[in-house]
A and B are shown apart, each in its own frame.
Chain A
Amino acid sequence: MDKNIILAGKHLRKEFHGNVVLDDVTILCKKGVVLALVGENGAGKSTLMNIISGGLQPDGGEIEFEGKPVKFRNSHHALQMGIAFVHQEFSLFDDLTVGENIMLGSEPRRSCFTDSHALHRQAQKVLNELDYQIDVGRMGGGLTPAEQQITEIAKAWVTRPKVLILDEPTSSLSKVEVDKLFRFIGRVKESGVSVVLITHRMDEIFQVCDETIVLKDGVMTAVEPVGNVTKDDLISKMVGREVSNTFPQRCKSVPKDAYFELRNVSVGKRVQNISLRIPKGCVTGFGGLEGQGQRDLARAIFGIEPFTSGQVLIGGEEKSIRTPGAAMKAGIGFVPDDRKTEGLVLPLSIEENMSVLVLDRIARNGILSRKRVRAEAQKGVDRLRIKLSSLKQPVVDLSGGNQQKVVFSKWVTANPEILILDEPTRGVDVQSKLEIYTLIRELTSKGVCILLFSSDMLELIGMSDVIHVMYEGRISGSINGCEATEEALMSLSSGVSPTVKKEG
């Protein structure tokens, strides 16, 4: 047994609802070694980290801590054993100070009272170790994303972990801050801690990491010391899935006249000065790593959190879209990424969900006719072949794929000119995916403008006529759908300078 191995996950396997998301993955966290974990969105990185830090239970395989097998009850248990996981999403408290946030759970006490002076002094010391200046008396709610990230790392480091897992810690940091963080990681490593770094930025791997693990679709495709690999090796091991024939033929002629136009639109700092001209009858894809502003862009177009500056033109006319209601009046539809909370009213029946957007049309003098509601819903069910036992069935009982079809058909009955799709096939089975793709093609052939936001690169490549890749709130490059490759998208996504020809 290698004495340097602090934490080992062996032959780990995890399934969600029958989908295997992790299969026979082995990860070894060694003393004083920085391990890079890379892979596409949805490759299973977070799942793997959650398993070795107690957040999820594996369905197969075992975890060993310092040579002995363990079963973590929850992430708190793992933290007590010395495994700290800094998640990508922050979990700070707005109404506690930076110091109180950092020391949460390990507050110093004098008899049974907390000692606020000592608490803030100790928190300051931890921040000093990180070589980062934040006033420990400031409130958590007023921090910038970079400060939140550093506070989260300090909160993890204060527990003096033996294994420190950082999930994309640099995505909100500036260059100088990243350098500071890497020097900190260097010092941490010297003191014998094992660090796992999840990152999408290739340069960082070569800057601080000693070993890499590459995941692709839940399977390990490479475990190598960093010295043995190049950037291109890594990218080719992350991607390389076959573009199968699941995608229906794209239409031949793409019209060039812009129907929907964005001029210099921004949403705070999350979306910055994006200008796009989108023609009718084609699929415009938006890709990139998670959290680069795609979601904000999609939601701003639909008026959920409107643009803070810039103009939106539809059919050459400027529109002010400040609410989803205004967006719908302007002919925009939106299939949200979280169908359970935003797309459907789960306890209501299929027919009620499907007709909810067209009640005005169905109603006569303000009174709904059951018959017409049913007829409208039946049309949708037939078009998308939704499997159901009755139109009166509550949608909560349907499978993920069928639920998504209900959301789709709800919007299709409303006849939008522009349809925004945010992760339309997340958690959807293969057969339903295919049917949704076919429907998208049908809509474009009728002249509907589709905006497809997806983290699935194959879906973007297979469906889109043009793909815009977003990076840090801007469009880092655009690729024609026919010419796009996963490698090209990946390089644009990870901020590597675009080597592909820019479109238009």
Chain B
Amino acid sequence: MLVGSVKRQLKQAIPAYVIWILMIILSAVLSPDFRSVGNISNIILQATPLAIVAIGQSIILIMGGIDMSVGSVISFSTVIVATASNLVGGFGSFAVAVLAGLLVGIVNGLGVVYLKIPPLIMTISTGAIVKGLALLLLPSPGGNVSESLMSFFTASSGCFSVAGVFGILLYVIVTVFMHQTRTGRYLYATGGNPLHARQSGLAYNRLTILSYALAGLFAALAGIILAARSFSGDPVIGDTYNMDSVAAAVVGGISLTGGIGSVVGAFAGSYILAMINNTLNMLNVFAYYQYIIKGLILVLALLVFQLKRRKKYED
């Protein structure tokens, strides 16, 4: 059985799962198209990149930071996969993209820790630089993604593709990491109270750099899957993921002020957002209304959790 603070962190994810399940039931009842294998595997395919980048964003938010460069890292990663395949092969381009993501994350972490640049500013800046690099390498969508990489990730049986299973696997690993290792515990402690974390002798600098590196890594992985799915590189495809990854984490019950929530919630949050997109697309709602609706959902989620927490501390 679960013992300790993990129980409480996991509880934060319950509302997201309730909403998600209600959405599934509602859609299944209302729309026969929804139940088709094709649509379900489509949703999983759409949700997986967001779910993966949301892992990294969640770790950062729990540690008390924020990463607004993940969108650009995703774009950059698709561009690398689409341009490097010819030189280093499909899985070589995979490795290059992962290393690039890690590098951007480490730069973010170093800037936050040693240059003391606020996370928001630091990551927006690196995001701009990385976006520029992506546009430089591949000014317009296209390029050449390795066939083997694509067929590997999109291979599927029934509703589940390799990409979808890969995403779930990452969630299992990170959930165990966050809740069952010392480092995970210290990340929570750092986000909960950075001052006390330093006073307690936790390696604040190392923990911060680590979490930004992980965010870069997961953004790169999301980009690789996105490239495999669309079979092309796209220098601006990641732009919406900055806000969407934060929204997925927040809808999943992770606090923007750090220390509270679980990646388990971000998983449901990602699927909720993906399903909303999916439904709006099926209903032929214009893209700009989709932005408005997503924005409203984020505000609503923030409001609900904020009110709940304020009540808790007033008691």
Contacts and interface: CB of A to CB of B under 8 A. Distances in A.
Given A105-B201, A120-B3, A120-B4, A95 B260 contact: yes
A50 to B, nearest CB: 12
A92 B185 contact: no
Contacts of B200: 91, 104-105
A93 B176 contact: no
A352 interface: no
Given A109-B182, A114-B185, A99 B4 contact: yes
Contacts of B195: 91
Interface string A129-148: 00000000101010000000
Contact of B199 (A91, A112, A113): A91
B188 interface: yes
Nearest to B260: A95
A137 B189 CA distance: 16
Given A76-B201, A100-B185, A114 B192 contact: no
B31 interface: no
A139 B196 contact: no
B140 interface: no
- Give the bracket for the number of chain A residues in contact with chain B: 20 to 34
B201 A79 contact: yes
B185 A95 contact: no
Contacts of B9: 95
B157 interface: no
A75 interface: yes
A104 B190 CA distance: 12
Interface string B181-211: 1100100110011011101111000000000
A467 interface: no
Nearest to A91: B196
B116 to A, nearest CB: 16
Contacts of A117: 3
Nearest to B189: A93
A75 B196 CA distance: 13
Nearest to A136: B4
A465 B201 CA distance: 47
A119 interface: yes
A117 B1 CA distance: 9
A191 interface: no
Nearest to B8: A139
Contact of B188 (A75, A96, A113): A96
Contacts, number: 74
A107 interface: yes
Given A107-B185, A113-B180, A114-B181, A95 B202 contact: no
Given A113-B176, A116-B3, A92 B196 contact: yes
B245 to A, nearest CB: 22
Interface string B262-297: 000000000000000000000000000000000000
A93 B196 CA distance: 7
Contact of A94 (B180, B181, B193): B193
Interface in A157-211: none
B5 A97 contact: yes
Given A91-B196, A91-B199, A105-B202, A97 B181 contact: no
B5 A100 contact: yes
Given A92-B196, A104-B200, A105-B200, A116 B6 contact: yes
A495 to B, nearest CB: 29
Contacts of A100: 4-5, 185
A97 to B, nearest CB: 5
Given A91-B196, A93-B192, A105-B201, A116 B182 contact: no
Contacts of A137: 3-4
Contact of B180 (A87, A92, A93, A114): A114
A112 B182 CA distance: 8
B259 interface: yes
Contacts of A141: 313
Contacts of A95: 5, 8-9, 188, 192, 259-260
B10 to A, nearest CB: 13
Nearest to A155: B200
A468 B225 CA distance: 70
A105 B259 CA distance: 17
A97 B185 CA distance: 11
Nearest to A106: B182
A92 B189 CA distance: 9
A110 to B, nearest CB: 10
A399 to B, nearest CB: 25
A93 B3 contact: no
A209 B188 CA distance: 39
Nearest to B3: A116
Q: Which of B3, B189, B196, B201 has its CB near the most chain A CB atoms (within 10 A)? A: B3
Nearest to B195: A91
Nearest to A120: B3
Contacts of A113: 176, 180-181
Nearest to B176: A113
Interface string B6-33: 1011000000000000000000000000
A141 B260 CA distance: 13
A75 B199 CA distance: 8
Contacts of A75: 199, 201
A100 B184 CA distance: 12
Contacts of B199: 75, 87, 91
Contacts of B197: 93
Nearest to B200: A104
Nearest to A96: B5
Contacts of A92: 196
Nearest to B255: A95
A37 B3 CA distance: 40
A100 B9 CA distance: 14
Contacts of B188: 93, 95-96
Contacts of B2: 116
A76 to B, nearest CB: 3
B200 to A, nearest CB: 6
A105 B185 CA distance: 10
A107 B182 CA distance: 7
A116 B2 CA distance: 8
A109 B189 CA distance: 18
Contact of B181 (A76, A91, A96, A112): A112
Contact of B4 (A79, A94, A112, A119): A119
Contacts of A107: 182, 185
Q: Which of B4, B185, B195 has its CB near the most chain A CB atoms (within 10 A)? A: B4
27 contacts: A74-B201, A75-B201, A79-B201, A91-B200, A93-B188, A93-B189, A94-B192, A94-B259, A95-B9, A95-B260, A96-B185, A97-B5, A100-B4, A100-B5, A100-B185, A105-B200, A105-B202, A109-B182, A113-B176, A114-B180, A114-B181, A116-B3, A116-B180, A119-B4, A120-B3, A137-B3, A141-B313
Interface of B: 2-6, 8-9, 176, 180-182, 185, 188-189, 192-193, 195-197, 199-202, 259-260, 313
A-B pairs, top 6 by smallest CB distance, nearest first, are: A76-B201, A116-B3, A91-B196, A113-B180, A91-B199, A95-B192
Given A91-B193, A141-B313, 13 more contacts: A91-B196, A93-B193, A94-B192, A94-B259, A95-B9, A96-B5, A96-B185, A104-B189, A104-B202, A113-B180, A116-B6, A119-B3, A137-B3
